Structure 1
Amino acid sequence: MDRWPLWVLIFAFIVDLAVRVIAIIVIPRNRRPTAAMAWLLAVFFMPYIGVLLFLVIGNPRLPRARRRKQEQINEYIAETSDQLHFGTLRPHAPQWLRSVVAMNQNLGALPISGDNGAHLISDYQESLDAMAEAIRAAEEHVHVEFYILQSDAATDNFFRALEETAARGVPVRVLLDHWANRWKPRYRATIKRLDAMGADWHLLLPMQPLKGRMQRPDLRNHRKLLVVDNKVGYLGSQNVTDSSYNLKKNIKRGLHWVDLMARVDGPIVLSLNAIFLSDWYSETDEILSDIDITTPGVGTGDLDCQIVPSGPGYEVENNLRLFLALLYGAQEKIMIVSPYFVPDEALLLAVSSACDRGVQVELFVSEEGDQAVVYHAQRSYYEALLRAGVRIWMYRKPFILHTKSLTIDDEIAVIGSSNMDMRSFGLNLEVSMLVRGEEFVAEMRAVEDEYRSLSRELTLEEWMQQPLRSTVLDNLARLTSALQ
């Protein structure tokens, strides 16, 4: 066999060296150290594949046009934010919490409001049916935005409510994530049903290159929310689909998702609707000027609430900063529920520092995972968490604990769509709600107690008996989780 000519080898060496040098210059810029190191390892060990992946998914930002739209939305909300300062706030808020609220408004433009009602719904079907009844009471508009939206037996009541409401002439607007739904069962049937009822529906972050609509393929809109007439809203972790997601692999394994939704009323619904209106504008270029976000509905409680949007349209990770600030403010108790807990260095330090301060910290996760890479990446942190003093509760299979919540002491809670992982911090559009009020936290505590009763505690002794192959797999997954 003839050898390669010397000049070819020299050229290949120069190209290889140039790629590595350029990678060192380009990749770390404005990127977290963990993400930069993971990308550099990918490029150095798999030069061609690593470079290709970086070119395709190396930019964790939305296209410039979309980011500009988000800036316009923030500017508009900031200009009208005085009109969103509704209700009377509870007195004697901790000073550190006031600064957190100010940070949230600076990052996401939405202020805190008082005199709100908020209640939890932890039963999966009950949540779907409660949203259906709210839709049936609509008089002005129904705004539906869910990561996954499927017409099936479990959601039939929800869709029938949309059909009945649309038939009365009430505008029904629907947003659903393209990539999350396109390859799921019943996608075509769902779209046909939306068309038949006359709903005005659009895809979120569509991947349609022939229509000139492209962005990084794994950027997703992960939000879950419903707004009816600016009077009632729902948000949380639950998608509008059967608890098995109608996937054959889930049905075969007997997997069912466990979720938590919050029903809200009062001024906070205006902020929730502002999120929908911003996403609607991002996808359609249409400003729904007929929707009034300056006249609040009457709340059934006196809770202080603040909506916190986050995602690649913002300059920083709004949700991560919220979580960090709350963790450092905790004095007695921290309860974290996250199906995908893959912390960066800052979040891991905040959790371990809380333990060092004597704060009780508990983490609820699933015993069984539905996403292999994230599941193993999460497991790679268990030893450090257990050694720090975190109590880890593993919700027993075949259920996937999908709730995303955080409670601080006995007064503050966060509920929404955001996991505590790299994807939710940097790649997904998320929405979270900060709540101050002992009665709401008491409801959260009841849910946490239920989760604890259905879980088993993972001990350090048990964990240290993990086989070497599991440790290797976990650590490899941990490296890939940082590729953003």
Structure 2
Amino acid sequence: MNNLLILVLQTLYVITIISVVIVIISENRDPVKTVSWVLILAFLPVIGLVWYLFFGQDITKEHVISKRMYSKLKKRPLDEIGATEEFVYPQEHESLIRLLKNLDYTPLLGGNQVTLFTRGEDKFEALLADIARAKEHIHIDYYVFLDDQIGTRIKDALVKKSYEGVEVRIIYDSFGSRKAKKSFFEEMRKAGIEAEPFLKLALPVITSRINYRNHRKVVVIDGRVGYIGGMNIADRYIEGFDWGPWRDTHARIEGKGVQGLQSIFLIDWYFVSQTLITSRKYFPKLDNYGDVLMQTVNSGPLKEEREIVHGILQAIYEAKKSIFIQTPYFIPPEPMTEALQAAAIRGVDVRIMISKRSDVPLVQMASRSFIKRILQAGVKVYLYEKGFLHSKLMMFDDSLTLLGSVNFDSRSFEHNFEVEAFAYDEALASQAKEIFVEDQRYSQSVSLKEWMKRPKIKRFLESLVRLFAPLL
């Protein structure tokens, strides 16, 4: 009897695995990703099946927000703030600007002043000061919002403003913020703050939602001041790890570019609350605060277009002098790898900086499997040694800077809800390059010769993990 039960269970398990493989193949996914799923299910069936249940199911065809509603929300800045205004911008980026505008109703918004932060302390102090000055509304959209010391300080500041009559709305990702106690957000709700989780994780839908997260880090205050970048709300962005400090990049924006962030927040707000907000008061008329021109681009798995991917690829194709990229995770899709190689071969100074030590060792192993190939093409690679490099900063030539939440990997490019500011300004690009060059002082320059001297077993394991890179 026991033998019969075991046989039945084994048969059911095999049928389940085969059924999952058939589903994956029939979904017409990227062939590389399909092969990766088949491999993990074939060689690690138990782990593979659990992994698929949590990270493999495709919800991209679920119409949680209609195209008509999305268009209405995204076009609001164009309708309300005179986005047809003509600006003088670097002609070398004309094709990129047009591409982003045509892809996703992304206007070119001028008159911005951008302040860069490379330390968590500086970013949070500036944010708290702006919250204290808020008069009408505060909109917050974070992947991680924890109830630790800095999280509590920000929570207390928001509660105070709510009691003063300021509208406060918060979106927190239910996976990224899972370590925060429920009472933390309940306290804010009791104070009149509207706080909504993004894709709430609850059975039975947990396994189909965990793979699609809101990775954005956006703040909009009174429609005039905005924040975007790589820092969430948690103590680690100030304190770092036991083995080193946390190195990140964040930006404060003052000017019309904030209206693009506002539009993205309101799209997310409709997503989580089914409440449509398009009032003019959230898009006030603004003066010019600086010379930076900006397009604020969002992307996510619910649309067929990959706006940020298209934008980055176009920027790589157009680069004539230099491409500097900082990213904590470097697992580029094949077109991105080839574009970087081609740029280096045609004489562009291409530099990639990643952290020597990572908070996700498996991803770090996969990242390192890409280094040999790009080194062979002439790309310069730097391993940041002074702690953990979480910065997501890209510069192209002398006039384009990318700031936002996007990591250089498939998860950011395909699965996560992300936001990226394409900023056109020579002074800002120069400042961003200075940050990169300063970080080079604390980085190991990688040579192809030395890289190939590493133990063969280490290189093999990195190559093995790379087989599953599209799934990481």
TM-score scaled by structure 2?
0.90
Aligned residue identity for 2:403 = I
1:64 Cα offset (Å)? 1.2
Partner residue in 2 for 1:330 = 319
Whether 2:307 is the aligned partner of 1:314: answer no
Gap change, CA 1:21 and 1:429, over 3 Å in 2: closer
Deviations 1:91-119 (A, max 9, x none): 25325x22222222333322111222212
Question: Which of the residues 181, 184, 195 maps onto 1:201?
Answer: 195
Gap change, CA 1:169 and 1:277, over 3 Å in 2: same
Secondary structure, counterpart of 1:319 in structure 2 = helix
**How many pairs align?**
470
Deviations 1:130-159 (A, max 9, x none): 011111111110011111112333445433
- Which range moved further: 55-64 or 136-145? 55-64
Gap change, CA 1:76 and 1:154, over 3 Å in 2: closer
Aligned residue identity for 2:441 = S
Partner residue in 2 for 1:187 = 181
Partner residue in 1 for 2:336 = 347
Distance 1:173 1:76 in 2: 17
Question: Which of the residues 35, 54, 71 maps onto 1:74?
Answer: 71
Gap change, CA 1:28 and 1:409, over 3 Å in 2: farther
Question: Conserved in 2, the CA contact under 8 Å of 1:70 and 1:314?
Answer: no
Distance 2:421 2:53 in 1: 34
Question: Which of the residues 258, 261, 266 maps onto 1:272?
Answer: 261
Gap change, CA 1:121 and 1:16, over 3 Å in 2: closer
Secondary structure, counterpart of 1:209 in structure 2 = coil
RMSD between aligned alpha carbons?
3.0
Secondary structure, counterpart of 2:208 in structure 1 = coil
Whether 2:117 is the aligned partner of 1:121: answer yes
The correspondence of residues 30-429 of structure 1 with structure 2, limited to 5 A, is 30-46=28-44, 50=48, 53-54=51-52, 56-62=54-60, 64-66=62-64, 68-69=65-66, 72-78=69-75, 81-86=78-83, 88-91=85-88, 93-94=90-91, 97-182=93-178, 184=179, 186-188=180-182, 190-195=184-189, 197-209=191-203, 215-243=208-236, 251=241, 253-290=242-279, 292-397=281-386, 399-429=387-417
Gap change, CA 1:234 and 1:461, over 3 Å in 2: same
Deviations 1:296-343 (A, max 9, x none): 322311221000101112213222111111001100000001111101
1:356 Cα offset (Å)? 0.7
Distance 1:187 1:162 in 2: 17
Distance 1:129 1:137 in 2: 13
Distance 1:228 1:428 in 2: 24
Deviations 1:175-206 (A, max 9, x none): 11101111x2x534632542454321111111
Question: Conserved in 2, the CA contact under 8 Å of 1:78 and 1:109?
Answer: yes
Secondary structure, counterpart of 1:31 in structure 2 = coil
Partner residue in 2 for 1:447 = 435
Deviations 1:342-379 (A, max 9, x none): 01110000100000110001111111011122111101
Distance 2:319 2:334 in 1: 19
Question: Which of the residues 455, 462, 467 maps onto 1:474?
Answer: 462
Distance 2:194 2:353 in 1: 38
Question: Which of the residues 417, 420, 442 maps onto 1:432?
Answer: 420
Question: Conserved in 1, the CA contact under 8 Å of 2:54 and 2:206?
Answer: no
Gaps of 5+ in 2: none
Question: Conserved in 2, the CA contact under 8 Å of 1:85 and 1:112?
Answer: no
Gap change, CA 1:2 and 1:298, over 3 Å in 2: closer
Secondary structure, counterpart of 1:116 in structure 2 = strand
Distance 1:126 1:287 in 2: 34
TM-score scaled by structure 1?
0.88
Gap change, CA 1:359 and 1:196, over 3 Å in 2: same
What is the aligned-residue identity percentage?
Answer: 28
Secondary structure, counterpart of 1:234 in structure 2 = strand
Aligned residue identity for 1:296 = K
Gap change, CA 1:21 and 1:202, over 3 Å in 2: closer
Gap change, CA 1:89 and 1:18, over 3 Å in 2: same
